[in-house]
Amino acid sequence: MWRHVWLIAANGLRRSLRDRSILIQAIVAPILIAVVVGAAFGSGFSLNVTVGIKDADGSDISEQIAQGLTGAGGDGIAFSSVDADADAALDSGAYDAVIVLPAGLSDAVLSGEPAQLDVVGEAKDPLAQSVAESVAAGIAANLQTARVTAVAATSAGVDAGPAIQRAVTATPPLTVEQGEVTGTFSVMAYFAPGVAMLFLFFIIGNGARSIIEERREGTLPRILAAPVSPASVLLGKTVGVLIVGIVSMTLVWLITWLGFGAYWGDPIGVFLVIVAAVVAIAGISLLITGLARTENQADALTTIIALLFAVAGGTFFYGASGVLSDLRLFTPNGQALAAFVNLAAAQADVVEVLPQILLLTGIGVGCAAVGLVALRNKVLT
């Protein structure tokens, strides 16, 4: 029996190798799409906000604040002083938002009158505006600290000068340190497996449909006329599509990893997730083929389900929130992608992605069992 299984599988493999569409879908398309995305977003996350400081007050206090800020800043945020008025500064494009220390600020602060800082941003860049707003809130809090200290000192009958000095130079009770997260993640390691799985549905679906095709063309009855059991035929076809799927996805992995430097994570884990994903996709394809009445119906159903799973599974969206982030876990593509992301970006080992491997394999085996029973009836009738 095993010789028959292998012969039928090998025949399927030979036919796949001859078909140029399979080469395009299985290898070229996933790599091409991943490389395009990689080229578009290869530089990764970046943020640059320039906040202008406009000192319209001209007092010692406002000057101190402005100087203190322009010396601060850091990775992704820069402060610099503005001479023109805030609107003109924003129009010039040199600033993303401006903090204005209005005229009379220090007098108001010192006298305990209502005082305010102004932040001017652009409607089209709400992020920069929020950043400036947050910085201004910090300045306002420091000014408030100084004047609360001054008023409290006066009412308690102590010398306000040294107290204010102490208050403004005190380090906040919480200090901040900066650490680094090591290891990088390439968006290619997200899109390559995602797109590869989409096209696997087409390729494996084709392979599964070849059973119906052979019945239509009359080759299947001839095979069955030989001493070959229907089980061997079905098993041979299944082994054939599994090998095509595993080999093609493994090639996509190796080429994007070794050729384009997109690290997918722990190799053992990656390979097992690839196998589990292919098993799931093959199982679903066998189920569709088994339940469909005609070849055309199977073809249409496979395409529609493949596209729906891909869309809902997050194949085309990187890091979505909302409906999609919940929806994707209901698709095999989404589960496999979650496992790939954990391996590559969370540096998980194979044990941590075992739940997904088991789930995908379970889906595959379960669907395949039902599909193969249905197909067996088709083969026999």
Partner 1 sequence: MRAVLATARTEWVRYFRDRIAMFTTLALPVVLVLLIGLSFGQSAERLPVGMLQSDPGPLGTSLVAELEDSPAIDVQQYTDRNEMYRDIRMGLVAGGVEVPADGEPVQIYVQQASTGAGVVVSTVNSAAAQISTRATAIDALSEQIPTQKARAAVDQAMADIPAVEVATRAIGAVNEMDENRFASAVPSQLMLFTFLNGLLGAAALVQARQLGVFQRTLATPHGLGVYLSGLGLSRFLIAILQAVILLGLGVLWFGINLGDPVAVTALVLIYSVIAAAAGMLLGGVVRTPGQAVAVAVPAGIVMGMLGGCMWPLSVVGTTMQRIGHLTPQAWAMDSWNAIINEGAGIGGIAGYLAVLVGFAVVLSALAVWALGRHARTGR
Closest contact distance (angstroms) between CB of 131 and partner 1 is: 5
How far apart are alpha carbons 336 and 330 in whole angstroms?
11
Which residues contact residue 58 at a Cβ distance below 8 angstroms, ignoring those fewer than 6 apart? 103
Exposure pattern of 276-303 as b/e (b: 16+ CB <10 Å)?
bbbbbbbbbbbbbbbebeebeebbebbe
What distance in Å separates the CA atoms of residue 105 and residue 321, rounded to the nearest whole number?
A: 42
Token representation of residue 352: 């941590």
Minimal distance, residue 239 CB to partner 1, in Å: 22
Q: What six digits make up the tokens of 122? A: 């652009």
Whether the Cβ atoms of residue 273 and residue 339 lie closer than 8 Å to each other:
yes
Nearest distance in Å: CB 295, partner 1: 13
Could you report how far apart the first and last alpha carbons of the chain are, in Å?
21
CB of 30 to partner 1, least distance (A): 8
For the bound state, the minimum distance from the C-beta of residue 228 to partner 1, rounded and expressed in Å, comes to 28
Q: Which two tokens stand for residue 171?
A: 């380090």
Question: Please, what is the minimum distance in Å from the beta carbon of residue 122 to partner 1?
Answer: 5
Measured from the CB atom, is 229 or 325 closer to partner 1? 325
Nearer to partner 1, 139 or 278 (CB): 139
Instruction: Tell me which residue of 364, 337, 330 sits closest to 353, measured CA to CA.
Output: 337
CA-CA distance, 310 to 196, in Å (whole number)? 10
Q: Are 108 and 143 in contact (CB under 8 A)?
A: no
